[in-house]
Structure 1
Amino acid sequence: MTDITAPFEAPSKGSRLFARAVLIGATLALILALMASAGVRYGLLLAIGVGFGLTLEGLRFGFAGPWRAMILRREPAGLLAQLIAIALVALVAFPLLSGDHPELIGAHAAIGWAMVGGAFVFGAAMQLVLGCGSGTLVNAGSGNRVSVLALPFFIIGAFAGSYHLLWWTELGHLPLITLSGKAGLGITLLGLLFIGLIALAIAPKQARKIPRRLLLAALLLAGLAVANFVVAGQPWGVVYGLGLWGAKVTSALGADLSASAYWASEAHQERLGASLLTDTTSLTDIGIILGAFIVAIWRSGLKTKLPSLPARAWIAAIIAGFLLGYSSRLALGCNVGAFFSGISTGSLHGWAWFIAAFAGSWVGIRLRKPFGLEG
């Protein structure tokens, strides 16, 4: 994950070893305690989330950064690693969804005006803060101050977007279209291969090799995503959990959410009343932050020096954080929930999301300099 801050002061070797031991022990204790109090399933989901965080931060695997590298320098390695991970998940998810497993659901959504527009805005906003949904969680967990600032506004935006979601979806959408079975899997794999070949064709020859760490990260993420799918009964997602956090805080402050058709529904009212430690998406989100935090401490401690940015850059980070949350709800997911999980479970909206968000990223990259986020 991209971090624009610099280390302040590296702690001694002894203190680092002690911190590592404490972190590992505390994490294992937390997972075991959750298993004992809420159930094995929820403890496993937290562990899977920690695995996501460790992999994303530890192996520097992201979504926003590789798209930026592809657009600016025609470097396809990161994007190709994403496509490989999606293909690996699809190889398992498609047969499971086609089998007799009614407890499993895919990340399926309809293509609509709000979905496409939301994906475009999300793509632009994630380039402003150099982080998508999972990237913002990872960067915040590892001490990136821009992401720490953007995250609460991401949460506010995700809640606001969900509050208005049904109004936006009524602007119009296509019928739900999904790919399934062997034919659907074949089409999905061919589509991923086609994108990969285009990326390789326009890349310089010296940039066509995928680093081993990215191949390892793709393999690990695919394994974790499949584990999440089987344990949670649904694909890996990020945004719903953040919106739920915002809804819980808003409700705790005394606000009445009954005016929102989305949050007034029986299913969402039930989740509002339940603990976050029994919400599948919230658990993996918490785990991602914790996993990234562990990696940061393991390396040399959190970055503590604030980056030198003009005031307009910090304002842009706040606005972009809010837009990330709001637009991702309209887009029915972020790089994880829509692109990664949507395509890997056969939803056509994942492909539409990718095209719109990639176009938005092109715009967002060009907005960084005017907002003071680059020299």
Structure 2
Amino acid sequence: MPSISTFIALAWLAVLPVAGHALAPLPGGRTLAFALAAGTVLGLLLQRTRFCFYCHARDWFEGGNPRGLLAVVLALAVGLVGHTVIVGSWVAVPQPGQLPPDLHIGPVSWVLVLAGLAFGAGMVVSGSCISAHWYRLAEGSPASPFALAGVAGGFVLGFISWNPLYSLAVADAPVVWLPAHLGHGGALALQLGVLAAIAAWLWRGFASESSPAGPAKPRHVPSLAQVWRGLWQGRWPCWVGGLGVGLVVALAIVRMRPLGVTTTLGSAARAGAQSQGWVPERLNGLDGFAGCATLPGSHWLTPHALLLAGIVSGAFIGALASRQWRWVRPTVRDAARGLGGGLLLGWGAMTGLGCTVGTLLSGISAGALSGWVFAAAMFLAVWAGLRIKRSLHLTD
């Protein structure tokens, strides 16, 4: 018999098509409705598969379990193939100096490396990446509200430091789109080769260390009730998250801009800080960059805002239906690690022009060198941060 929480989840799910229908007649309404639907699917996938860059990295660095990071590799591979097919139809013959509009292709400099290191450190301190904090918010996480508030503060710190950093390194930094130098086929082959090498490295020795399979169990066709219960027990396999996230990343560029989860929060932080005079009115070069750059004077009825609403809604549906929603009274430690880690996440996302979804997933899928640099710096910081936490006997 379905639980009360399952009925609430189904009722909430029924509201979303009504909201999409209400959005459709508005200017750009179809894109808004698509963003809400895509966000809902993404939120459900993130929650049910525990798709979190930090959690997956921690599973590997501390326990030797590569399944989560292999799901990230799968998401990147699917997104990369999808972007190559779609963008290849838009820009048939890429040329050096020519960039497709809106794709998350950013400048590569030491500022980007510093941004990735700060973001990785923020994940270790707060316990999640920004996208995971959005879905964990819908699970009742005690630290995530403080972390997201800290992210807004980190964006403000990033805006304050942006103009000096832009003059020092960003203004003259190269913006490298790999297909412009290798062609679509060459860039795809190179990046898939790197992903295959990473997958092989992650998997090395793991299969041989796994316990041998026992006697084969007799199979039977499950009933519909068993299938339904199976959807909401435990978590879905990691590969489902990788495949699903990669498909959403690829399909998003057909109806809206590439995926990103920081534009809305960053834009709100920018508007509020500028109204108080904390941030310069002119942020040199920022609004000319693609990626999750903030938008001055933006409002809440945008594709990225609806995407976030969908992510939280989808995660809430998944958490309720699986009985994984649980409100926990936050402690002082929750608030401190959330705010402290959020500040690092926000500063890294602002100066890196995105987070694990915008700069890393969407960037690498687009063939941007900036995505690879950000990823390398971020995972290095997570590895170092986990070692420091272990030496200090700290836990999440």
Task: Report how far residue 270 of structure 1 moved.
Answer: 10
Q: Residue 343 and residue 266 in structure 1: after superposition, are their counterparts in 2 closer, same or farther (change >3 A)? A: closer
- Equivalent residue for 2:176? 177
Partner letter of residue 134 of structure 1? S
The answer to whether structure 1 residue 338 and structure 2 residue 337 are counterparts is no
Structure 1 stretches lacking a partner, 5+ long: 1-11
Q: Supply the distance in 1 between the matched residues of 2:6 and 2:122 (Cα, whole angstroms).
A: 38
Q: Residue 364 and residue 266 in structure 1: after superposition, are their counterparts in 2 closer, same or farther (change >3 A)? A: closer
Q: 2:322 aligns with which of 299, 303, 324?
A: 299
The answer to whether structure 1 residue 47 and structure 2 residue 37 are counterparts is yes
Which string of whole-angstrom CA distances, capped at 9 and with x for unpartnered residues, describes residues 239-295 of structure 1? 2222012224445x65585534259969999944342212x3222222212211121
**Partner-residue secondary structure (3-state), 1:276:** coil
Q: Residue 318 and residue 106 in structure 1: after superposition, are their counterparts in 2 closer, same or farther (change >3 A)? A: same
Q: 1:100 aligns with which of 69, 90, 93?
A: 90
The answer to whether structure 1 residue 217 and structure 2 residue 241 are counterparts is yes
Q: Supply the distance in 2 between the matched residues of 1:248 and 1:298 (Cα, whole angstroms).
A: 37
Which string of whole-angstrom CA distances, capped at 9 and with x for unpartnered residues, describes residues 341-368 of structure 1? 1111111111111111111001222444
Task: Report how far residue 120 of structure 1 moved.
Answer: 0.8
Structure 2 stretches lacking a partner, 5+ long: 92-98, 213-234
Q: Supply the distance in 2 between the matched residues of 1:208 and 1:360 (Cα, whole angstroms).
A: 32
Q: What are the within-5 Å matches in structure 2 for residues 1-375 of structure 1?
A: 13=2, 15-38=4-27, 39-100=29-90, 105-173=102-170, 174-180=173-179, 181-201=184-204, 203=206, 205-206=208-209, 213-232=237-256, 234-250=257-273, 255=277, 258-261=280-283, 271-278=295-302, 280-300=303-323, 302-306=325-329, 311-312=332-333, 314-368=335-389, 374=395
Q: Supply the distance in 2 between the matched residues of 1:79 and 1:264 (Cα, whole angstroms).
A: 32
- Equivalent residue for 2:230? none
Partner letter of residue 199 of structure 1? L
Partner letter of residue 364 of structure 1? G
Q: Residue 295 and residue 229 in structure 1: after superposition, are their counterparts in 2 closer, same or farther (change >3 A)? A: same
Equivalent pairs, count? 358
* Paired residues of 1:57 and 1:292 also in contact (CA < 8 A): yes
Partner letter of residue 259 of structure 1? E
Q: Residue 373 and residue 141 in structure 1: after superposition, are their counterparts in 2 closer, same or farther (change >3 A)? A: farther
Q: Residue 370 and residue 178 in structure 1: after superposition, are their counterparts in 2 closer, same or farther (change >3 A)? A: same
- Equivalent residue for 1:9? none
* Paired residues of 1:49 and 1:288 also in contact (CA < 8 A): yes
Partner letter of residue 297 of structure 1? L
Task: Report how far residue 332 of structure 1 moved.
Answer: 2.4
**Partner-residue secondary structure (3-state), 2:143:** helix
Q: Supply the distance in 1 between the matched residues of 2:211 and 2:370 (Cα, whole angstroms).
A: 28
Q: Supply the distance in 2 between the matched residues of 1:80 and 1:301 (Cα, whole angstroms).
A: 24
Partner letter of residue 116 of structure 2? A
Which string of whole-angstrom CA distances, capped at 9 and with x for unpartnered residues, describes residues 308-328 of structure 1? x6x455323211111111111
Q: Supply the distance in 2 between the matched residues of 1:144 and 1:222 (Cα, whole angstroms).
A: 26
Which string of whole-angstrom CA distances, capped at 9 and with x for unpartnered residues, describes residues 180-212 of structure 1? 111011111011111111112264634699x97
Q: Supply the distance in 2 between the matched residues of 1:354 and 1:250 (Cα, whole angstroms).
A: 29
If you compute each CA radius of gyration, which structure gives the higher value, 1 or 2?
2
Partner letter of residue 177 of structure 1? V
Q: Residue 272 and residue 196 in structure 1: after superposition, are their counterparts in 2 closer, same or farther (change >3 A)? A: same
* Paired residues of 1:145 and 1:306 also in contact (CA < 8 A): yes
Q: Residue 17 and residue 332 in structure 1: after superposition, are their counterparts in 2 closer, same or farther (change >3 A)? A: closer
Q: Residue 272 and residue 172 in structure 1: after superposition, are their counterparts in 2 closer, same or farther (change >3 A)? A: closer
User: TM-score normalized by structure 1?
Assistant: 0.85
Which string of whole-angstrom CA distances, capped at 9 and with x for unpartnered residues, describes residues 58-116 of structure 1? 22222111101111122111111111111111112123223336975421012111110
